[in-house]
A and B are shown apart, each in its own frame.
Chain A
Amino acid sequence: MNSNADPYKTSNKHLAPRPGFVLDVDRTSPPILFHHGDQFKLEKLPAGRSRVIYPPEPLEGLADPEGAIRHALANPIGDSEPLAALLRPDMKLTIAFDDVSLPLPPMRRPDIRQRIIEAVLDLAAQAGVDDVHLIAALAIHRRMTEDELRHAVGDRVYDAFAPSGRLYNHDAEDPDGMVVLGETPHGEDVQFSRRAAESDLVVYVNINIVSMDGGHKSTATGLSGYTSLRHHHNVHTMRNSTSFMDQKNSALHASNWRMGEVIRDAGVKIFQIETTINNNTFGRTGPLSVLQKREWEWNAKDRASFIAMQKGLEVLPSKARRKIFSSWQAPYEMTSIQAGEVEAVHEITTANVFKQQSVAVEGQTDILTMGLPYICPYNVNSIMNPILVMCLGLGYFFNMYRGKPLVREGGVLIMSHPTPWEFHPVHHPSYIDFFEEVLADTTDPIEIERKYEKKYAEDEWYIHLYRNSYAYHGVHPFYMWYWGSHALQHLGRVIVVGGDPAAVQRMGFQSASTLQDALEMASDVVGPQATITHVKNPPIFMSDVT
């Protein structure tokens, strides 16, 4: 089902959302809001050589999400029968769903996953299916807590399935719970959840926040483990993905697609349900809505609320700020849902993601600036440690492009984030060791991969904590570092504004106290009149760079 033909879409209840926009900064341009962790800064960019890329305004959401879901399940796309036709009483049904890393920030209840899972379970019940398992497809992310699972699937589903052990987190290190289904022509092992592999049908419930999500990656990554992940979560793949947000130029996607074929050829039948959301991250009204507006359109109320928020945050301790922001749930609206055969579904999903997120940008820049927010996929209800800062800036924001990177090769990336030397000891134990041991030795991804990855990946304590506590897998910080390896290779310098100097130095970056300092430091690399591009992100967008 293409969302263009969506019968459940209503007329726009908001004014027509405007597309993304590139502002050339002149002397009359106001200071630009930079996210700075759980604080904000207003920065004046140099006139005449700076530009700001603004995300498109939020698209309208589907007026009747439940109706759209039922419609999608009954009208699949690609080579697939309607879901109801795939269900029978004696079957094994596994419903896998995206974990806590999506979306960012978490969405207000009811979560899309809840809506879809309830619809799928209704159909399963009607068909008399008894053997149903629900699995949070978290690969090697940390396990979701009960609260987080309840948020994702809803209390009704949680209470019906969790007590009997039929709703649980994927365990990629369970020796009895994982199987290897085969090998791709490239020699990549395809490891998979045994329960999913032995099911008659796997229904995957996805939320696409960026174009990297979904498709075969949902299952080939989400329900796999280190045995498979090491084949594409590595430096070579990352450096050969330009970008990994662009499926056609992503070695990461290519590997997942190869693995998807092996999974399919092994007889695993997957019914893929993908959804897209708009970028209504901070709301059209309310306390954070100013973050979604363009600065020159701020009215007096916006300015007052921003200044009050900024000053209020300044006097709070970091724990209190973190608590405030962790409690923010975005009023996202579902903009499309499509179900059926994986690749056909994903093609439409990706188009719908780009419909919301694409911004045409002409030419590359010498200096790319970005204000990093308080959250990334791996610190939900947690701490944004320095490695995650690196990953968000160099791994995610840098890669939010199609065509060419926004910044030219040899250019400078300036990120604004406090980058405290602080880790969540429960969620990120191996990160602490990675920071203390690995980065103290080298920041070169190739060297890191060669020298340390296996030891961390196979460390029994990390595996124990991943399986029994709420820790990311031992190898996860390596993947975060690799995520930024393309940017590391591409850039001439990385500067962090307002970061803890020791933490920034440990990562091989330079710290600057102000944006002005950072621009002066950058001039050593790109000259005094270098062009500057600022990505006003979040909400998330993708630059189509020509």
Chain B
Amino acid sequence: MKALQFKRNLPRYAAARIAGSFTPGRGGTVGPLRLTNLEAPEMPGPDWVQVRPRLSGICGSDLATIDGRSARYFEPLVSFPFVPGHEVVGDLTDGTRVVLEPVLGCVSRNLDPTCPSCAAGHLGNCQHTTFGNLEPGIQTGSCHDTGGGWATAFAAHPSQLHPVADALSDEEAVMIEPTACGVHAALKAQGAATIAVLGAGTLGLVTIAALRAQNPELTILATARYPHQRRLAAELGADHVVAPQEIRRAARRHTGSRAISRSTDDGAVDRLSGGVDAVVDCVGSSESITDGLAITRPGGRIVLVGMPSQVSLELTPLWHREIQLIGAYTYGTETAADGTPVRTFDLAADLVSTADLGQLVSAVYPLNRYQDALEHAAGAGRRGAVKIAFDLRSEKERDQL
């Protein structure tokens, strides 16, 4: 089986960190990631099935790992060597087309009773990601035992799989997982009348689409660095799209706030007297979170979707303005408007279809061009792209399994 495998190799990891700091995505060339031939993964349990990926997306968290930027927080939550890839549409051996819900929660780990989070359907909050029948790994794509989507095959528990409607293309289907993240984040920001979405990469765009679908009356401000991101953000439902450095003034204008400057002489908009009801931060940098704190009204909420890693923050506004800073990692089960539980993936599948989110898949690469693919994904914004994916539909190894 053909696979991209990530091994524990500290010198290579350091090299990836250096290379990635110069050219994002370059860590794939010098780092611990290698294209290799592996035995097809053994099924970790009796009811597990083999999935043969058709398209497998490259996520920002994958890039962070490959460029040596991921937080040490994740060290106990992965098991080496592993095959990355958790945004997957693939085929089962019986030909059923499925998308992967990659969280490896209590059920897939054969834990009974399940943890309270899994029992409530909040798989993303599973408390047992390092226990049970599997090696550690918070999701497929970081667990040694399951394999991952950047290969011609991997193992999946049936509870992780969702059949794909025939009407959805592979490009649409591969967007379901990232879209579920956006749907989940949008629901965490529910109740706001004015929201700022920081960042217009994949997560930012799907979040905008989710927010708009959730509430047609909502006022959505968004930041976008590149022209195609601006266009897509507006098309997907943002009312006002500005450059990242313009968000404080834009939020002031659209909320009728006043601005407060640290120095009365410099005229800088350091923060707003009021601000937006909620911020969805799809960047996760010190700068973006600081912007979020500057533009969120007292009592408002910041939903952190972008993976922040290590950041440096002035948290006084969080304290003073009683702002809620909450994370939005992944999905599971949400509560519909009528109070009934609904799977985030089902909501995401609907949204992908209605908002035409398949258009966000900008380019696909075969596995053997993984270095180009990773660099393209890491530079997606400035290269006019959004989502880059591996296309395994034509890999001959896929048919030989």
Contacts and interface: CB of A to CB of B under 8 A. Distances in A.
B266 A461 contact: no
Contact of A424 (B250, B252, B256, B267): B267
Interface string B257-269: 1110000111110
Interface string A416-435: 00000000111101001100
Nearest to A425: B267
B265 A426 contact: yes
B387 to A, nearest CB: 26
Contacts of A432: 249
A461 B240 CA distance: 20
A471 B253 CA distance: 16
B249 A436 contact: yes
Task: Tell me which of A436, A460, A461 has the highest count of chain B C-beta atoms within 10 A of its own C-beta.
Answer: A461
Interface string B207-246: 0000000000000000000000000000000001011001
Nearest to A423: B267
B242 A436 contact: yes
B257 A461 contact: yes
Interface string B176-212: 0000000000000000000000000000000000000
Contacts of B265: 426
A215 to B, nearest CB: 34
Contacts, number: 37
A459 B253 CA distance: 8
Given A425-B268, A426-B266, A429-B267, A461 B246 contact: no
A159 interface: no
A494 to B, nearest CB: 23
Task: Tell me which of B242, B252, B256, B258 has the highest count of chain A C-beta atoms within 10 A of its own C-beta.
Answer: B258
A464 B249 contact: no
Given A424-B267, A426-B265, A426-B267, A461 B258 contact: yes
A469 interface: yes
Contacts of B257: 461
Given A460-B258, A461-B258, A461-B259, A437 B253 contact: yes
Contacts of A459: 253, 256
Contacts of A440: 242
A91 B253 CA distance: 45
B365 to A, nearest CB: 33
If over half of A's interface residues share one DSSP class (helix, strand or loop), that class is named, otherwise mixed; here it is: helix
Contacts of A425: 266-268
Nearest to B272: A461
A429 B246 CA distance: 13
Given A426-B266, A437-B240, 8 more contacts: A432-B249, A433-B253, A436-B250, A460-B258, A461-B252, A461-B258, A464-B258, A469-B264
Nearest to A452: B253
A301 B257 CA distance: 57
B317 to A, nearest CB: 19
A461 B268 CA distance: 13
Nearest to B240: A437
B82 to A, nearest CB: 44
15 contacts: A425-B267, A426-B267, A433-B249, A436-B246, A436-B249, A437-B240, A437-B242, A437-B249, A437-B253, A459-B256, A460-B258, A461-B259, A464-B258, A469-B264, A471-B267
Contacts of A471: 267
A452 B361 CA distance: 36
A424 B242 CA distance: 20
A369 to B, nearest CB: 32
Interface in B265-301: 265-268
Contacts of B240: 437
A143 B24 CA distance: 49
B250 A437 contact: yes
Task: Tell me which of A426, A427, A455 has the highest count of chain B C-beta atoms within 10 A of its own C-beta.
Answer: A426
Contacts of A437: 240, 242, 249-250, 253
Interface of B: 240, 242-243, 246, 249-250, 252-253, 256-259, 264-268
Nearest to B257: A461
Contacts of A429: 259, 267
Contacts of A427: 267
B256 to A, nearest CB: 7
A429 B257 CA distance: 14
Nearest to A455: B253
A108 B253 CA distance: 41
A34 B256 CA distance: 43
A436 to B, nearest CB: 5
Interface string A27-61: 00000000000000000000000000000000000
A426 B266 CA distance: 6
B53 to A, nearest CB: 41
A471 B267 CA distance: 9
Interface in A73-120: none
A455 B256 CA distance: 10
Nearest to B241: A440
Interface in A430-453: 432-433, 436-437, 440
B147 to A, nearest CB: 47
Smallest CB-CB A-B distances: 5 pairs: A425-B267, A426-B267, A461-B258, A436-B246, A433-B249
Contacts of B253: 433, 437, 455, 459
A455 B267 CA distance: 20
Interface in A455-499: 455, 459-461, 464, 469, 471
B269 to A, nearest CB: 8
A424 B268 CA distance: 10
A65 to B, nearest CB: 36
A477 B238 CA distance: 26
A426 B268 CA distance: 8
Contacts of B243: 436
A488 to B, nearest CB: 25
A50 to B, nearest CB: 39
Interface in A166-200: none
Nearest to A435: B246
Contacts of A426: 265-267
A221 to B, nearest CB: 26
B396 to A, nearest CB: 48
Nearest to A461: B258
A460 B242 CA distance: 22
A432 B264 CA distance: 17
Nearest to A432: B249
B264 A460 contact: no
Contacts of A469: 264, 267
Contacts of B268: 425
A448 B266 CA distance: 28
A259 to B, nearest CB: 31
Nearest to A463: B258
A425 B245 CA distance: 14
Nearest to A468: B264
Contacts of B258: 460-461, 464
Nearest to B259: A461
A471 B259 CA distance: 13
A2 B36 CA distance: 97
Contacts of B242: 436-437, 440
A33 to B, nearest CB: 34
B175 to A, nearest CB: 29
A53 B168 CA distance: 69
B227 to A, nearest CB: 11
A471 B266 CA distance: 12
